[in-house]
Structure 1
Amino acid sequence: MSMPRTQESPVRSLRSYLMQRLLISLYLLWIVSTVVGYFATINYANQPYDLVLLQRAHEIAAQLKLGSGNEQLDIIPVLPDGSDPGMPDRVLYTVTDSKGRKLAGTGNTLRPLSYRRGRPGPLFSNSEREGKKTRMVSLTFASRDGVFQLHVSETTEQRQALIRGILANIVIPQLLLTLIALAVVWYGLKQGLRPLERLRREVLERRRDDLSRLDGSKAPAEVGPLIDAVNNLLERLQQVMAAQKRFLADAAHQLRTPFAGLKTQTELALRSDEIALKQHALERILTSTRHGTRLVNQLLALARNEPGGGRTDSFLPLDLNQLAQEVALTWVPLALEKNIDLGFESAGTPVTISGDANSLLDLLNNLSDNAVRYTPAGGHITISVSLAHGKASLCVEDNGPGITPEHRERVFERFYRILGNGESGSGLGLSIVDEITKRHGAKLELASGRHGVGTRICVIFSALPARPAN
């Protein structure tokens, strides 16, 4: 059953994202401003027309003498009928009693007295007549003949025209200001993102091998952490590439000699017909092959443990006693061939450290190889583990010729060998030990052995807390 492919989401442009957000914000701001302006316009437009309507209602009441006791309801006041272009609104009035029965008027705006709900003074209300919106004011008059209510209504065409004019003068300028603000924001974003564009071009135009730091001095402060992280990555890449170059150079330099020897001995064996010469050439070929194999293994170990060549997230808790004992048992047969006493001294208690098992095996094997190689027949070598004050010590001690103080600082350099010791080697063993020690955050100590004889090399680790017994 084939798994469905997951589609990668397209990369979003920062400029487009910001423009979209700002455009939505400006649009919502324009909508809110328009709605608020609309209601404010209605309120302010109604006020003067309401005053005119109220004044007209008082004039009608005066003509009808409402509240005087001598009401003249048969008089018909002259009111606008909407036929005049300068006065398009039609005005109607109605006089009712307390029960809402029509007593006089030109309209049918009947409202009972209870509609006022006890409110004093004029009461304005909105309604609709013949499909047109109207505005009405109601007044109450007390007389000896009872209570009269006057309702005067007019259509709102003039009001609507005024409102539309005010809104046009508000909305259109606001829309133009919004468009201008959008243009200003777009230009500001373009100018603000220009340093990032310049930084992008700088990275694109770089040579493939240029890992120098990016110049973030002219970039926005918000991009500073990103530039610092990229520069940190470039520095680590530089370390890795430098380690690879050193490894290739070291491998080319060191492998040239054994392979040249192999080629020479093979040519001699092919040209010679004597069995003794062929046997001698084959023995030299075997020696060169062993030397080349050991050199390749050391170069690989060095590459694994160089800065940038190994990771520390794979470290696991390890028992240093068990690790040292296994290595000691491995080197016992080679020590016996040279009549060397190789012993192991345990700490007596579990000694746990955090580390990489393969790297620590390389470290122990190189220390043991150096000790076995340079210790004369009849000598002794001791591999020991100890624990004190939270520090775990792994030591390899021999009673060989030792290392004089003037050479102790340089023996950890690559391919550095002390002349006149009569032993072959590549000078990489202690360099590997030094790199593995640094990778584990440990400390390397080199001193003379007991009674000032031989060599004692110790690697001091930070021990992990002991686990409580179950």
Structure 2
Amino acid sequence: MKPRAAPADEVADDDWYEPPTSEQDETIQHSLFGEILDWMLAPLLLLWPMSIAITYLVAKGIANQPFDHALEDNVTMLVQQFKQTDGAQAGPAPGQGKSARDMLRGDDVDAVYYLVLDQQGRYVTGDRDLPPPQDAERYRSGMVLFRNDNVHGTPVRVAFSYIDTPDAAADAGDDGRALVQVAETLEKRAQLANEIIKGVILPQFIILPIILALVWFALARGLSPLAQLQERIRARPPDDLSPIDSGQVPEEITPLVGSLNDMLSRLSLSIDMQKRFIADAAHQMKTPLAGMRMQSELALRQTDQDEIHRSLLQLAKSSEAATRLVNQLLALARAENQPQAGTAFEAIELSELARAVVHDWVQASFAHQIDLGFEQPAHPVMISGNSMMLRELLGNLIDNALRYTPLGGSVTVRVRATPDMAILEVEDTGPGIPQAERAHVFERFYRILGSNVDGSGLGLAIVREIAQQHGADVDIFNNPRAQTPKWPGTLLRLSIALLPPEAPHEDDITYG
């Protein structure tokens, strides 16, 4: 005699419980057209001020070149006029100072300054307020050089040159270099730079709106295939789940259309399965409902109390079969619509859950006169799953075993573990399942011919669906403990991955 399942505490009922879901965050819809437009126009509008600044710097450089050449010519002219003629002085030749001044002062826009210093650094002619260059020793003689400076707080551009006077330097005992420099304010340069900027920027104000209009038109034209695809999908009949022709869409949208076609294919398959399920369910419901109607009509026509009693018994059996069929249909629908792995799973101690389920079926085993036993390991077997669905799975396995095991037979529920798998087994001493039928018994409404057992053919379909939800495998074997070849028995084995040892906490464990 196998050990009987020990009485267990009252098990929590199996009412469907759905935890309250948190309010979903409000999604913000983004426009693809606006997104592309932003990414195109934002850099353009950011680079435009930068281009203006760079253009202004370039314009200033361009404007400086002709005026620097003019300054260089003025310095050259002064060098020629005031160059030492006899090696004794660095001043201008008689009568030349006034003419040089008149030539340099002839600018009506900018103020022009000039200064000539002899080799001793003494003033010769020009404007005394024009400062000499700093670090004179680092400048080479005979070259016209440029610098920026200030005169009376006004920015000026200065051209200057050092003149070698070796004979005078030998007599005076100094470095023998005179200084000639000419400076002018920057008004003409600024005006020219502004004119260049205007010539560049004003056309941009005309071109930029045209660019924006062209970008807008190009985006609208480029995204028009999406609108056409949308119209084609909207024009479809509600029951048209045929694939979308990917040859009529741009290459960039082809992967999206391919994914949509895959989804339509899966949806079509799912709808076909639901239609077959509804048709099969309606067909299966006809038999018990027709039997109930026939028995009730027969009972109404009977006058003999014994015949009425027999009709009521048959009516009760038909009602029980219809109730069981409806319950299994609901269980299968619930299993098929369970969340996928992870969202509704928790840590479960499998042996305690199996022990609780076996306890619920003890009275049914007494009614069938079958010895129902349970073998539990000495250590916990932890898995991740949905306890309600696993109870439904094991309940269907036990129900099948009790129905197909003859009177006086035995059914054993066993929980054990390998290094990485939890094993749940239900074995019986019934007629067994032929090898050729094992691939079909998990199909909906499939029943083995000649079994002579009332049933709906949904029990193992529910088992398979729940096992797939948990990533588990279900296998069918002959019972290795069967007594005779005539009754080879059946061993149904569920293999499910164990939880890592560190995963569960004691407070989180569910025992079913």
Q: TM-score, normalised by structure 2?
A: 0.72
**Mapped partners of 2:43, 2:283: distance in 1:** 67
* Aligned CA distance change for structure 1 residues 109 and 414 (closer, same or farther; 3 Å): same
The residue aligned with 1:119 is: 139
The structural deviation recorded for 1:251 is: 3.2
The letter for the 1-side match of 2:131 is R
* Aligned CA distance change for structure 1 residues 261 and 180 (closer, same or farther; 3 Å): same
The structural deviation recorded for 1:459 is: 1.8
* Aligned CA distance change for structure 1 residues 262 and 443 (closer, same or farther; 3 Å): closer
Q: Helix, strand or coil for the counterpart of 2:414?
A: strand
Confirm or deny that 1:19 pairs with 2:37.
yes
Confirm or deny that 1:193 pairs with 2:208.
no
**Mapped partners of 1:174, 1:214: distance in 2:** 45
| Structure 1 residues 40-439: aligned runs within 5 Å | 40-64=58-82, 69=88, 71-72=91-92, 75-77=97-99, 78-79=102-103, 81=105, 91-95=112-116, 104-105=125-126, 109-112=129-132, 116=136, 119-120=139-140, 121-126=143-148, 134-140=156-162, 149-156=179-186, 158-172=188-202, 185-213=215-243, 230=260, 233-234=263-264, 237-238=267-268, 240-266=270-296, 279-306=309-336, 311-313=340-342, 314-347=344-377, 349-387=379-417, 390-405=420-435, 407-439=437-469
The structural deviation recorded for 1:301 is: 1.8
**Mapped partners of 2:301, 2:248: distance in 1:** 71
Contact 1:30 1:175 in 2 (8 A): no
**Mapped partners of 1:364, 1:6: distance in 2:** 35
The structural deviation recorded for 1:79 is: 1.6
Q: Which has the higher contact order (CA 8 A, sep 6+)?
A: 2
* Aligned CA distance change for structure 1 residues 54 and 451 (closer, same or farther; 3 Å): same
Greater displacement, 269-278 / 19-28:
269-278
1:452 to 485, 490, 507: 485
The structural deviation recorded for 1:235 is: 5.1
Greater displacement, 158-167 / 35-44:
158-167
The structural deviation recorded for 1:426 is: 1.8
* Aligned CA distance change for structure 1 residues 427 and 12 (closer, same or farther; 3 Å): closer
**Mapped partners of 2:404, 2:26: distance in 1:** 61
* Aligned CA distance change for structure 1 residues 431 and 24 (closer, same or farther; 3 Å): closer
The structural deviation recorded for 1:444 is: 1.9
Greater displacement, 356-365 / 290-299:
356-365
**Mapped partners of 2:25, 2:418: distance in 1:** 57
Q: Helix, strand or coil for the counterpart of 1:451?
A: coil
Q: Helix, strand or coil for the counterpart of 1:137?
A: strand
Contact 1:411 1:430 in 2 (8 A): yes
Q: Deviations over 1:10-54 (max 9, x none)?
A: 533222222222223233434333333332332233233222222
* Aligned CA distance change for structure 1 residues 117 and 332 (closer, same or farther; 3 Å): same
Confirm or deny that 1:461 pairs with 2:479.
no
**Mapped partners of 1:312, 1:416: distance in 2:** 27
Q: Deviations over 1:75-114 (max 9, x none)?
A: 311326558xxx7556454445789886544x56432575
Greater displacement, 286-295 / 72-81:
72-81
* Aligned CA distance change for structure 1 residues 123 and 395 (closer, same or farther; 3 Å): closer
The letter for the 1-side match of 2:412 is T
**Mapped partners of 2:368, 2:134: distance in 1:** 126
The total of aligned residue pairs comes to 460
* Aligned CA distance change for structure 1 residues 195 and 102 (closer, same or farther; 3 Å): same
**Mapped partners of 1:188, 1:274: distance in 2:** 90
**Mapped partners of 1:241, 1:348: distance in 2:** 46
The letter for the 2-side match of 1:17 is E
Contact 1:100 1:111 in 2 (8 A): no
The residue aligned with 1:441 is: 472
Q: Helix, strand or coil for the counterpart of 1:22?
A: helix
Q: TM-score, normalised by structure 1?
A: 0.77
**Structure 2 unaligned regions, length at least 5:** 1-22, 507-512
Q: Helix, strand or coil for the counterpart of 2:73?
A: helix
The letter for the 1-side match of 2:404 is Y
The letter for the 2-side match of 1:453 is K
**Structure 1 unaligned regions, length at least 5:** none
**Mapped partners of 1:147, 1:406: distance in 2:** 118
* Aligned CA distance change for structure 1 residues 150 and 396 (closer, same or farther; 3 Å): closer
Contact 1:353 1:461 in 2 (8 A): no
The structural deviation recorded for 1:362 is: 2.5
**Mapped partners of 1:41, 1:52: distance in 2:** 18
Contact 2:156 2:183 in 1 (8 A): yes
The letter for the 2-side match of 1:36 is I
* Aligned CA distance change for structure 1 residues 300 and 147 (closer, same or farther; 3 Å): same
Contact 1:66 1:148 in 2 (8 A): no
The letter for the 1-side match of 2:103 is L
- Tell me how large the CA RMSD over aligned residues is: 4.3
The structural deviation recorded for 1:290 is: 1.6
The structural deviation recorded for 1:298 is: 0.9
The structural deviation recorded for 1:292 is: 1.6
* Aligned CA distance change for structure 1 residues 363 and 147 (closer, same or farther; 3 Å): closer
The letter for the 2-side match of 1:21 is W
* Aligned CA distance change for structure 1 residues 210 and 317 (closer, same or farther; 3 Å): farther
* Aligned CA distance change for structure 1 residues 79 and 442 (closer, same or farther; 3 Å): same
